[in-house]
Amino acid sequence: MLIPTGFQQLPSEEGCYNNQILFGGTVSQMASATAQLSNCKFLGQAHYHIGQKVIPAVGGMLSFATGTSGSVKTNRTYNFLYKSTPLSSHLALLIQYRAGNFEFTNVSITAQLRATGSNSYTGSILDYGVIFQEGLDLVHDQDQIATAFTGSELITAPTNTSPVRVRPLFVPSANRGDLLNVTIATIQALPITVHIYDLLIPEVTP
Amino acid sequence: MSNSYTSPPTLVDPARTTAGLTLRTTEISRLGDLQNYAFAVGGCGDVLNQYWDEDVFEINSTSYVVACDWYIPRPSNIHNEIKVRLGAHTTTAGGTFRFNVTFPTSSNKYTSAPVTITDSSRFASAFEEATITVTGAETDQEVLLTLEVQAVSPGFVQLAFIQASWTKLSSPLSTGSLAQGSDSFIPQGISRLGADLPLTARFGVETLANITTLRKRGRTLFQWAGSQNARVGNTPAEGLGIFDPQVMFSNVALYGGMNQIDDLEVKVLLDVVNYSAGSFIDIFGHRLPITSGGLNEFSLKLRLNEINLSDDFGLSMYQVGLDDTPNNADLLLSIDNKLNTNPLYIRAISIIGV
């Protein structure tokens, strides 16, 4: 069935009363509206803003070009926890970042998916993930914010054992509903926001 | 009779409910099951996420002090357990954190047990988790979550991230009418929807009411809170700054029909410091008057255009957050509007959609 993506008009309550003929359309509308809730509205998402140092007297961010905010010339690893739902199968990532220094090094952002057993940052790898690469996926402009996106292709379970070209991360069925860790490693790129989304599966076999 | 649900859920085949086909109990039973699932599980994903880069936010107070506070949605009046995960390390062993959940209507505050931070360097080993169980009958759909941190001298605690989610209800749901704010949800007894039992008018009426209730349940669209009580020399952002309209937003799905149906709105909650009359802030295509210090709450209809990401996600996507406008440039902290001159500033923003 197709999963509705809007709050459609519900059938009249009076159509459910005693002595009324119950039309199939009434039940169908209820079924669609409930599927919209379970398989669309209540899909998961997480929105991380990554704070940087600011000028003390100002107290808020002025820009990335001034002040004492983070440098793009660092290599860092970040851990973003994500509470998946029982329907989380594919995770899209939308990353705002800035990067530079392409001429001197191989700038990249790598994303992997890990389990969080024992609250560990290094839980078992569920998806070896993807790499955003300079020139292909990343923009060379350390004075401007750019956006990297995994796309939204509904891939089948991946088999790669090292990061590949960008695609959504895949959540194995055994881990859906778990607390997950999206690990992001950067080489001379500075993430500013990281957004994680469950992808809508538009057609589901009942 | 059991108000059970299946996870992951099984859907109703709408093709089986069209004219000329027998209306099977399979479809009706699944419809009840799916409602129970949506009530129990819906809204139990992330309700709070925030991150601080390396060396940005450190606290060295040796008694508990507030680090940040946020307004977060609560799925229903019986979702009583919330878990907060904190990524942090302490430079002197023994640093701890705890968190509070405060219900604005009753003013009741629930506090987690203190949790010792075990890592001594950033991401050394494990994040920490704290839990609160709400024991009273509370009705608020947005609650205040406060993070408190305590360090051990001469060290400090450095924060990396916070994440929070409510725990889903287990199957079966309890009997009787369940509440979500002031709305009710009637869980469906699955065995009552089986073969040889009448399909009651009650089932249809309750199903429609349940769908209407669940459509109103809140989803976190964006959260950010300024830092409080950082140690001297450590300078995380305390309020929204002039740069933030470029990054303080989310691209999120909002669903067609929300403008046509009552009570389906986007809520914006602001924590305002140093209030002075006559200030406005531009958020989500609306110019909002700031009317007091502390909490300012707004319910907004959708008036923006969709963004290009709609094509990728197969959903109607919108940019929800701070708008990049001259008015905001004047209001937000900047070189011409410094914190040390005590201007009005926004210490926290929560955006909760349906």
Interface of B with A in 86-125 (CB under 8 A): 87, 123, 125
Q: Kindly report the CA angle at A162 between A159 and A164, in degrees rounded to 5?
A: 80
Residue B318 amino acid letter: Y
DSSP characters over A72-120? SS-EEEEEEEEE--TT--EEEEEEEEEE--TTTS--EEEEEEEE-GGGB
Residue A83: its chain B contacts at CB < 8 A? 44-46, 163, 165
Asked if A174 is an interface residue toward chain B (Cβ–Cβ < 8 A), one would say: no
Distance CA B209, CA A184 (A): 43
Distance CA B52, CA B117 (A): 17
Length of chain A: 206
Contact B335 A68 (CB under 8 A): no
Residue A145 has its nearest CB partner, among B13, B160, B246, at: B246
Contact A105, A96 (CB under 8 A): no
Distance CA B132, CA A167 (A): 37
Residue A62: its chain B contacts at CB < 8 A? 241-243, 334-335
- Secondary structure tally for chain B: helices H, strands E: 4, 20
Identify the closest residue of chain B to A33 by CA–CA distance. B211
Identify the closest residue of chain B to A77 by CA–CA distance. B123
**Which residue's structure tokens are 């009787």?**
B176
Interface of B with A in 291-310 (CB under 8 A): 309
Distance CA B224, CA B240 (A): 9
Distance CA B168, CA B170 (A): 6
Contact A7 B261 (CB under 8 A): yes
Contact B220 A47 (CB under 8 A): yes
Residue B21: its chain A contacts at CB < 8 A? 24
Q: pTM for this structure?
A: 0.97
DSSP state of A203: B
Interface of B with A in 25-64 (CB under 8 A): 27-28, 30-31, 34-35, 37-38, 41-46, 49-57
Tokens of B299: 């319910």
* Mean pLDDT within B131-136: 96
- B329 in helix, strand or coil? helix
Contact A194 B51 (CB under 8 A): yes
Q: CA quadruple A61, A67, A73, A76: dihedral positive or negative? A: negative
Torsion of the alpha carbons at A41, A46, A47 and A50, rounded to the nearest 10:
180
User: pLDDT category, B194, cuts 50, 70, 90?
Assistant: confident
Peptide bond into B154 cis (omega under 30): yes
* Mean pLDDT within B53-73: 97
Identify the closest residue of chain B to A121 by CA–CA distance. B126
Residue A49: its chain B contacts at CB < 8 A? 50-51, 224, 247-248
Identify the closest residue of chain B to A28 by CA–CA distance. B14
pLDDT given for residue B1 in this prediction? 52
Distance CA A73, CA A94 (A): 21
Contact B334 A62 (CB under 8 A): yes
Contact B161 A94 (CB under 8 A): no
Burial of A135 (0-12, 13-18, 19+ CB in 10 A): exposed
- Report which of A127, A150, A139, A152 is spatially closest to residue A190, judged by C-alpha positions: A139
Q: Kindly report the CA angle at A126 between A151 and A44, in degrees rounded to 5?
A: 55
Q: Kindly report the CA angle at B142 between B140 and B145, in degrees rounded to 5?
A: 115
Residue A87: half-sphere exposure toward Cβ, Cα within 13 Å: 30
Contact A10 B13 (CB under 8 A): no
C-alpha pair distances (Å), B185 with each of A9, B176, B201: 19, 9, 16
Burial of B35 (0-12, 13-18, 19+ CB in 10 A): buried
Residues 6+ apart with CB under 8 A from B36: B3, B4, B5, B171, B172, B173, B187, B188, B190
Asked if B274 is an interface residue toward chain A (Cβ–Cβ < 8 A), one would say: no
Interface of A with B in 52-111 (CB under 8 A): 52-64, 68, 70, 76-87, 92, 94, 96
Average pLDDT of the residues of chain B: 95
pLDDT given for residue B218 in this prediction? 97
Residue B31: half-sphere exposure toward Cβ, Cα within 13 Å: 30
Strands B142-150 and B96-102: antiparallel
Where is B25: in which H helix or E strand? helix B25-41
Distance CA B45, CA A181 (A): 14
Residues linked to residue A147 through DSSP beta bridges, in sequence order: A96
DSSP state of B230: P
pLDDT given for residue A65 in this prediction? 53
pLDDT given for residue A67 in this prediction? 47
Q: How far is B103 from chain A (nearest CA, A)?
A: 23
* Mean pLDDT within B184-211: 91
Asked if A172 is an interface residue toward chain B (Cβ–Cβ < 8 A), one would say: no
- Report which of B5, B335, B42 is spatially closest to residue A54, judged by C-alpha positions: B335
Contact B136, B74 (CB under 8 A): no
Contact B114, B97 (CB under 8 A): yes
Residue B352: half-sphere exposure toward Cβ, Cα within 13 Å: 25
Tokens of A131: 């790499």
Contact A202, A6 (CB under 8 A): no
In this prediction, the residues of chain A whose per-residue pLDDT falls under 70 are 65-70
Residue B160: its chain A contacts at CB < 8 A? 79
Residue B257 has its nearest CB partner, among A8, A40, A199, at: A8
- Report which of A79, A86, A137 is spatially closest to residue A108, judged by C-alpha positions: A137
Residue A32: its chain B contacts at CB < 8 A? 14
**Which residue's structure tokens are 């067609």?**
B256
Length of chain B: 354
DSSP characters over A154-191? -PPPP--SS-BSS--EE--GGGTTSEEEEEEEEESEEE
Q: Which of A81, A93, A175, A199 is the best substitution to test chain B (most B C-beta atoms within 10 A)? A: A81
Interface of B with A in 181-200 (CB under 8 A): 199
Residue A17: its chain B contacts at CB < 8 A? 201, 205
Which range has the worst mean pLDDT, A3-17, A61-75, B260-274, B294-308?
A61-75
